[in-house]
Amino acid sequence: MGGVKKKKPRSLLARIFQVKNWKLILILILMLFVSATLLRLDHIEMIKLRQDVLDTDAREDATNDEIIASLNKLKEFTTKHITIDAYEENGVEHIRFGTGRIVLANSYYRKANEVLTKAQNEADNYVTNPNGNIYRQVADICDAQGKRYGWAYPDPRYINCWQDELAKFPSSEELQSQIIAQIPSAELYEYEFASPYWYPCASGFAILTCAILILLILIRIIIWFGYKILIFIAEHTR
């Protein structure tokens, strides 16, 4: 008895290979545009969050918790999205994944000013010091240098001058009554959050789709060239 032949279901890969190359290329162009758009949106959001950190730091009434909250928000977004940032160094354009270096300059200056002011005020209460009032000596030296070179507090060069001059005085048990100004390191106020090269987000899946399409197109081209080579060899070996 004759029966109706059932068509075997084709796999997804087989169906994809039946799609014409020009259609795959059109889809690839569309996905490249989508990927670029999503990456651009991620970049804009990262720039916005980075500026929020700097704006919060610039506020005189900003609390440490507010600054940390803005930093955490930026970190969370950057580590869960593909953020690409372009920057120039020595006249050459570079690409980096992440925020780049963020300096909380205002927080650093506020802390340094607090420490220096406290040190100078408390130093006046101590008269028994083998080196004299070292803070007054350092202030005189740095003020003179600042006047000569045209800088003053809160210029980083003024703070560096304080650190360098204070380091010249030896520390010993005799100076325990002297409150040494502990100016924080500038590195403590520098942050940089790296972005992953790929992450399962909208832009990440769009990029993955582009990579798969490019791979399919290349495989089809290789198969086509291989088929043509086999035909050529077969025709010339008869």
Contact 41, 158 (CB under 8 A): no
- Answer yes or no: do 73 and 124 share one domain: no
Contact 96, 82 (CB under 8 A): no
Question: What's the structural domain count of the chain?
Answer: 2
**Element (DSSP H or E) covering residue 122:** helix 105-123
**CA separation for the pair 41, 35 (Å, rounded):** 10
- Answer yes or no: do 117 and 184 share one domain: yes
- Find all residues with CB under 8 Å of 202, minimum gap 6, and list them: 38
- Answer yes or no: do 83 and 198 share one domain: yes
Domain of 37 in residue numbering reads as: 19-101+192-213
Q: What is the 3-state secondary structure (H, E, C) of 141-180?
A: HHHHHHHHHCCCCCCHHHHHHHHHHHCCCCCCHHHCCCCC
Q: Using one digit for the tens of pLDDT, what is the confidence trace for 123-145?
A: 555 544 555 566 677 778 888 88
- pTM score of the predicted model: 0.67
Question: For residue 237, is it within any domain?
Answer: no
Q: Using one digit for the tens of pLDDT, what is the confidence trace for 24-81?
A: 899 999 999 999 999 999 999 999 999 999 999 999 888 999 999 999 999 999 999 9
